[in-house]
Amino acid sequence: GYRLWLKYDPINDDDLKATYAKQVSSFYLSGDSDTMKVIGEELIFALNGMLAQAKQVNASQAGLIVAAGDKASALAARHKLDLKAAGDEGYLVYQVKHGNAEKVMILANTEVGALYGTYRLLRQLQTRQPLADMAIVSQPDIQLRVLNHWDNLDRHVERGYAGESIWDWHKLPDYRYQRYVDYARANASIGINGTVLNNVNADPLILTDHYLEKVKALADMFRPYGIKVYLSVKFSSPQLIGGLDTSDPLDEDVQQWWQAKVDDIYKHIPDFGGFLVKANSEGQPGPGDFGRTHAEGANMLASALAPHGGTVMWRAFVYANEKNEERSKQAYSEFKPLDGKFDDNVLVQVKNGPIDFQPREPFSPLFGATPETPLMMEFQITMEYLGFSTHFVYLGPMYEEVLSADTYARGEGSTVAKVIDGSLFDNNISGMAGVANIGSDRNWTGHIILQSNWYVFGRMAWNPEISAEQVADEWVRMTLSNDNEVVATVTDMMMKSHEITVNTMTPLGLHHIMGAGHHYGPAPWVDSLGRADWNSVYYHRADDEGIGFDRSPSGVNAVEQYFSPLKEQLADPATTPEKYLLWFHHLPWDYQIKSSGRTLWNELVHRYYKGADDVKALEQQWDSLKGEIDPLQFHQVQMAMDIHVKEALWWRNACVLYFQQFSDMPIPDGLPKPE
């Protein structure tokens, strides 16, 4: 699993191989910058792998031309191609008649655009598509496409399930693992252009010279791949490592401390990306400690970064008991009034849902609510509430569900994707972050299938409107097999897997009923943690009358934070999509479910049983692939499936038995008793 989707195994079809070889095995590069060198290396490696031949030659001999900048402009003009359409990071990949020969051309305004175009061309070979008549124009819809590593300096990864952190701080800056290069290659291949190296629960030491030297080493390695390095910073750093007695953002000494720190970082890392900040959230310090707003805190950092072109990504994940407001409403209440108060180089980074990375949540009502403030999406790629690294879950459909959701902020069609890519409000900056699932496990993500979540995150950050299914198809082809039947089977499994997981754990809009603290396995009974909103019972509210959280106007009225007509739809159980039913409503056990005619109790039981049965069926589907894919890959997933099957039963039995004490209703006829 180490090679991810960049396997480049030999192509078995001799005719196809010969055709490809004729078309692109000899290539020309328009320069010799670091990025061009990386392009050359990738082509040599990939083409040798797939075609057993690869050669860098001069332009007249080459079948493939890779060009950036002026050279690319000249070629585009000659072939009447519109290079402007490639933007700063995009590319054209065209087959054209050049003199007497057909040539494939990768043309871009920038070298990193040419690198992305190279990976795009290689994908064509990896997925066995024809090169003849290629005419692809692509550029990213979102500017900052960034991984967030929740990696601590001692290599523990918060919510990481794939081994320790890949950053070996102890051996940096001198020891530079090949893994760092492969990490950069994998990210560049899907268009990721930034990485936040350390946990948002930040250690202030990251800003000391000792660590900055190590950060610089990584930044130097990633630069040719178009990847900028960012850091999470602790808001109280001026006190903790700067010797100041305050971190008040309006204090001049504090401002100067940050300015000097930032200037120093840029001396060593001229293309440093900027800061990610978790402030006044779950015990982290922030501007609120000094009576200042999130905007005042963010802007102080933003003005230090602005002269260097850096960005602040300020998280909106805030909730606190003291606020006396229902948790799902708090981010909106806090940030909506600050709309328009943030500097130009600040993005507010919002988790996809209003609570916390549940298997399913409605989108956060902040999306669409801040026309003057660009919002950055924060998706979780790591599987905190989703079965860690034993469950077979492809997140593409979940991301797609969120991105395609309509906020109605500017009338129908105001999707979350359009908020995020900046097009709805014409923002000048846009971004998407994914909390990485990467660790030093040999296969990177602890489970081969979960590599697809890293992959789909990158693909959707480039194009938030791409379909999850298309991405699954290409990922399977590059990672497991190009055999159409295998591709169809695995893609089918992947596309079903998220809905199956929702049924297994939290059907009908239930949420946050996982084990306390670790968030693994069922624990709807948790009721005694220090904060009300850390307890499962706070979220499901099961009692003798019924189950679910009344967030409608008769309850905490969280629906008021959405735009019409959504808020009216969600206010009424009859018009609330069933997938969010218990998120927004507390309903009697005998409430009739529209789609099935079942009572709520029977439907809930039915979903938990279906979840467990469907996982079993997934296992059988996987078993049918024996002999069809690499035996080691097959075996790894099979072992994880075994665990998944057991755990789906665990979820089913635990939840059904627990909720039954309230419903006091029998297990519907025909279903085996839970044990």
Binding mask of the shown chain, residues 297 to 336, with x at each position contacting ligand GCW by CB under 6 A: --------------------x-------------------
Which residue out of 111, 296, 356, 378 is catalytically annotated?
356
356 in catalytic set: yes
Residue 524 identity? P
For ligand GCW, the closer of residues 119 and 161 by Cβ is 161
Nearer to ligand GCW, 150 or 272 (CB): 150
Q: Is the peptide bond before 666 cis (omega within 30 degrees of 0)?
A: no
CB of 497 to ligand GCW, least distance (A): 21
DSSP symbol at 103:
E
Print the binding letters for residues 384-403 with ligand GCW: x by CB under 6 A, - otherwise: x-------------------
Site size with ligand GCW, rule: CB under 6 A: 11
Q: Please state the closest distance from residue 284 (CB atom) to ligand GCW, in A.
A: 8
Catalytic residue among 334, 384, 401, 647: 384
Decide: is 200 part of the binding site for ligand GCW (CB under 6 A).
yes
What is the signed CA dihedral for 473, 477, 482, 485, rounded to 10 degrees?
Answer: -40
Estimate to the nearest angstrom the gap between the alpha carbon of 306 and the chain centroid: 26
- Is 234 an interacting residue with respect to ligand GCW (CB under 6 A)? no
Q: Is residue 533 near ligand GCW by the rule CB under 6 A? A: no
Least Cα distance to 568 among 558, 560, 578, 579 occurs for: 560
Decide whether 285 or 422 has the Cβ nearer to ligand GCW: 285
Nearer to ligand GCW among residue 158 and residue 168 (C-beta): 158
Residues 143-162 that bind ligand GCW (CB under 6 A): 150, 158-159
Say whether 485 is catalytic.
no
Q: Rounded to whole angstroms, how far apart are CA atoms 304 and 259?
A: 5
Phi first, then psi: give them for residue 283, nearest 5 degrees.
85, -5
278 lines the binding site for ligand GCW (CB under 6 A): yes
Nearest approach, Cβ of residue 159 and ligand GCW (Å): 5
Sign of the dihedral through C-alpha 542, 548, 549, 555: negative
Instruction: Dig out the tokens for 464 from the structure.
Output: 């938030």
Sequence-separated (6 or more) residues with CB below 8 Å from residue 619: 638, 641, 642, 644, 645
Nearer to ligand GCW, 334 or 384 (CB): 384
Per-residue contact string for residues 335-374; x = within reach of ligand GCW by CB under 6 A: ---------------------xx-----------------
Contacts of 23 (CB under 8 A, 6+ apart): 63, 64, 95, 102, 104, 131, 132
Q: Which residue, chain included where needed, has tokens 């902020």?
A: 409
3-state class of 288 per DSSP? Answer: helix
| Least distance to ligand GCW, CB of residue 432, Å | 16
Residue 107 or residue 277: which is nearer to ligand GCW going by CB?
277
Reading the block at residue 156, the tokens are 């523990």
Cα separation values, 410 from 362, 364, 369, 400, Å:
19, 16, 10, 20
Dihedral sign (CA 110, 112, 116, 121): positive
Per-residue string for binding with ligand GCW, 106-145, x by CB under 6 A?
----------------------------------------
For residue 379, the minimal CB distance to ligand GCW (Å) is: 12
The radius of gyration of the chain from alpha carbons, rounded to an integer in Å, stands at 26
The whole-angstrom separation of Cα 374 and Cα 340 is 9
Task: Examine the residue annotation and report whether 384 is marked as an active-site residue of this protein.
Answer: yes
Nearest residue to ligand GCW, by Cβ distance, number only: 356
The catalytically annotated residue of 34, 88, 263, 282 is 282
Are the C-beta atoms of 334 and 286 separated by less than 8 Å?
no
Sites of contact with ligand GCW (CB under 6 A): 150, 158-159, 200-201, 278, 282, 317, 356-357, 384
Q: Catalytic site residues?
A: 282, 356, 384
